[in-house]
Structure 1
Amino acid sequence: MSIYFQLFLASFFWGSNIIVMKLLLHHLPFLFLAFLRVLFSFVFLGIYLYFHHISLNNFDKKKMLIISLLSIYLNFFLTFIGMNQVKGIDNALMNALSPTITFLLSLLFLKYHLSLKEWMGMFLSLFAFLLSIRFQIFSIQSGFYYLLAGMTLYILGNILIQKWHIEPSISFTFYELLYGSLFLWIHSWVDGQLAFDRLLTLPLWQWGLFLMISGVGFAYIQVTYMKAIAQIGAVQTSFFLSLNPIFTYLESLVFLQESFDFIHFVSFLLLILALIITKQQNKDKE
C-alpha cells in the first residue's frame, strides 16, 4: 500500500474524528474526552505491538516528553477548547493552513526551501482558507485561534522529529501516546473533568464510532504520519492534512445537519488542486 493512499485514509479518519468528537462533546467534558481518545489509541496500538511481536525501542526521554507535550497534550487541549466554539466544518478548515505553518516552521528549524510547485500549492491552500472565511481575518471567532495554536504545536512536534533525526516508528508512537495520555489524565483530574460515570449514558452506536474512528483511527493516523514524515518529509505530508476538511464537510452535512456552503465547496476544490500540484513535485523528483 503506497504512502499516499495511507495518508488519504488517514485524512478520512482525521476528518471523521471531528464529527465523532462534536457528537460526544454533548455528553462528556472536553478534557476527559481528549484523554479517552488518546488512551484508547494507546491501548489499541499496544495490542497491535503485542500480537505482532514488535519490540519497543529506546528513545531520548527528554525529547520524547517535549514532542508528546506539544503534539498530543497541548494540541488536544487547545483543539478541544476551539472545537467547542466553532462548527465542525470550520474546525476542519483550519487544516488548510497546515502547509503554510509547516513551511514557516521548516524554514525556521530545518532551513527548508520550497520548490516552485510547493510554493504554488502553499498559496493555493492559504487562499482556500481565506476564501472559506470570506477574507474576514479580523472578525473570526476566538475558537479559530485555539484551533490554530493546537495545529501549530502539532506540526512543531513533527518538525522536531525531523530536526532531531528521530527514527519514526510504531514504538515511538506508542510512547508518544502513553505520555500524552498521562498529561491529559493529570489535567482532567486536576480540573475535575474525570467523568467515568457519564460513559454509561453514551448510546451503543456512539461507543462503536468512538472506538473505531477515534481509538483505532487516531492510532493509525499517528503511525501513518510518522511513516510519511520519514519518507516524503513534513512539508509534503502537511498537504494531505488539508484533505481533512473535505471528509468533515461531507459528514457534517449528514450527521451535524450543517448547511451546504458553495464558498466552502470552492475552497475544497482549491485544496485538491494544491495537493495534486505538490504531489507532482514528488513525481518529478523520482
Structure 2
Amino acid sequence: MGNSKIYLVLIGIMLIWGLNVSVIKILVEHFMPVTITALRIFIASVTVFLVLGVLGKVRKPHSNEWLYIISGAMLSVVSHHYFLSTGLSKTTAANGGLILGLGPLLTALLSMILLKRRPTNIRLLGFLLGGTGVSFTVLAGDGGINSVSVGDLDIFLAILSQALSFIVIKKAAETLDPRLLTGYMLLIGSVLLFLISLWKEPAGLASLTHGTPAVWLAFLFSAVLATALGHMIYNHAIGQIGAAETSIFLNLNTFFSLVGAAVFLGEAILPAHLIGLLLIVPGVLLGSGSMEELVLRRRRKLQHR
C-alpha cells in the first residue's frame, strides 16, 4: 500500500475515532458506563483475535511478556476506558474530544520525565500551547473556573493513563506483535472492567435491556470499527510510515470529535472550544516532536539526493 493510500486510510480512522467520542457519550447515557464499556472492550478483543486468527498471527505470550501485557491492560484499557466512560457521563463530548487530543503531547512529556530527556525549546513551546488550549477548553462554560467539570478531570486522567501505557507498550512490542498485544490487553482489560462493574454498578447488567436497535448499532460501530479495527490499522500504519507522520493525523481526531459533538449531539461549540482547538493542534505538533522529526527526515532525504 502506497503512502497516499495509507494517508487516506488514516484520515478515515481519525474520522471514526472522532465520531466515537460522541458514540460513547450516547452509550453511557443509555447504559451504566462501566458495564457497557466492559462489554464494548470484550467485543473488540474478540474481533481482534478473529482477524489475527485468520492472518495466523495468534500465539501464546512468553512468560516475560505477561508483565507488560497486564501492565498495559491496567493502563491502556482499565484506567483509560473507565475514566473515559465515566468522564463522558459528566461532561460534553466537545470537551472530551479536545482533552483527548493531548495524547501525543502527554506521551512526549512523560517520556522526557521518565527517561530524563531534556526538552528542546520547540517542545517547551508546544507544551505551553497545549496546556493553554486545554485551559480554554475546560473553562468553556459560562461560569468560568466554577464551571470546571469533574468529567473534564476524568477525561484528562483517561488520556494520561493511555499516555503512560504507550511507554509500556513500546517495550512489549520489541518481542510481541503490537496487534496481538492489543488483543490480549483488550481481553484482560474487559474482564477486569466487568469485575469493577459488578462492584460499582449492581444494576449494570439489567441496564443492558434498555437499548434500542439504533443504540446497539452505535455500540457495534464503537466496539468493532473504532476500538478493534481502528487500533489495529493505526498500529499497522506506524510500521509503514513511522510514528512521527502517523501521530500528526491524531490532530484530525480532535477536529472530528468537535464536528461529531455538534452534528450528532447538538452540543454548542463555543468560541473557547475553537480557541482550544487552535492552540492544542500546533501544541501537539510541536510538543510531541512530530514536526522536528519530519523536518530532520526531509533534510536527510535532500542531503542524500
List per-residue Cα deviations over 1:49-79 (Å, max 9, x = no partner).
1222223252411221111011101211222
Counterpart CA distance in 2 for 1:37 and 1:179 is 13
Mapping of residues 89-100 of structure 1, within 5 Å: 89-100=94-105
User: Does residue 27 of structure 1 match 2:30?
Assistant: yes
Counterpart CA distance in 2 for 1:252 and 1:122 is 26
List per-residue Cα deviations over 1:108-163 (Å, max 9, x = no partner).
22334445544444333223222333495676222222221221111101112235
User: Does residue 56 of structure 1 match 2:56?
Assistant: no
Counterpart CA distance in 2 for 1:116 and 1:232 is 23
Instruction: Please say if residues 81 and 146 of structure 1, whose CA atoms lie closer than 8 Å, have aligned partners that are also in contact.
Output: yes
Unaligned runs of 5+ in 2: 298-305
C-alpha distance 226-109 of structure 1, shift in aligned 2 (>3 A): farther
Which residue identity is paired with 1:37?
R
Deviating more after overlay: 246-255 vs 171-180: 246-255
Provide TM-score, normalisation by structure 1: 0.84
User: Does residue 105 of structure 1 match 2:126?
Assistant: no
Structure 2 counterpart of 1:281, from 278, 292, 303: 292
Which residue identity is paired with 1:147?
I
List per-residue Cα deviations over 1:186-221 (Å, max 9, x = no partner).
112233446445444322222222212333211134
Instruction: Please say if residues 100 and 126 of structure 1, whose CA atoms lie closer than 8 Å, have aligned partners that are also in contact.
Output: no
Which residue identity is paired with 1:258?
E
Counterpart CA distance in 1 for 2:150 and 2:139 is 16
Q: Which residue of 2 aligns with 1:181?
A: 190
Instruction: Please say if residues 243 and 271 of structure 1, whose CA atoms lie closer than 8 Å, have aligned partners that are also in contact.
Output: no
Instruction: Please say if residues 137 and 276 of structure 2, whose CA atoms lie closer than 8 Å, have aligned partners that are also in contact.
Output: yes
1:244 partner SS:
helix
User: Does residue 263 of structure 1 match 2:272?
Assistant: yes
Counterpart CA distance in 1 for 2:128 and 2:69 is 33
Counterpart CA distance in 1 for 2:186 and 2:224 is 11
Q: Which residue of 1 aligns with 2:302?
A: none
- Paired residue total: 285
Which residue identity is paired with 1:24?
L
Which residue identity is paired with 1:265?
L
Instruction: Please say if residues 28 and 195 of structure 1, whose CA atoms lie closer than 8 Å, have aligned partners that are also in contact.
Output: yes
Counterpart CA distance in 2 for 1:181 and 1:40 is 9
Larger Rg: 2
Deviating more after overlay: 184-193 vs 244-253: 184-193
Q: Which residue of 1 aligns with 2:300?
A: none
Instruction: Please say if residues 73 and 188 of structure 2, whose CA atoms lie closer than 8 Å, have aligned partners that are also in contact.
Output: yes
Deviating more after overlay: 111-120 vs 144-153: 111-120
Instruction: Please say if residues 20 and 214 of structure 1, whose CA atoms lie closer than 8 Å, have aligned partners that are also in contact.
Output: no
**Cα displacement (A) at 1:34:** 0.9
Q: Which residue of 2 aligns with 1:44?
A: 47
Which residue identity is paired with 1:153?
S
Which residue identity is paired with 1:55?
V
Unaligned runs of 5+ in 1: none
Counterpart CA distance in 2 for 1:121 and 1:224 is 27
Identity of aligned residues (%): 23
Counterpart CA distance in 1 for 2:285 and 2:195 is 42
User: Does residue 131 of structure 1 match 2:151?
Assistant: no
C-alpha distance 5-281 of structure 1, shift in aligned 2 (>3 A): farther
Which residue identity is paired with 2:198?
W
Counterpart CA distance in 1 for 2:118 and 2:43 is 38
Deviating more after overlay: 90-99 vs 158-167: 158-167
Counterpart CA distance in 1 for 2:95 and 2:52 is 36
Instruction: Please say if residues 24 and 222 of structure 2, whose CA atoms lie closer than 8 Å, have aligned partners that are also in contact.
Output: no
**Cα displacement (A) at 1:8:** 3.8
C-alpha distance 131-251 of structure 1, shift in aligned 2 (>3 A): same
List per-residue Cα deviations over 1:234-254 (Å, max 9, x = no partner).
x87666544433212111112
User: Does residue 157 of structure 1 match 2:157?
Assistant: no
Instruction: Please say if residues 109 and 159 of structure 1, whose CA atoms lie closer than 8 Å, have aligned partners that are also in contact.
Output: no
Deviating more after overlay: 7-16 vs 21-30: 7-16
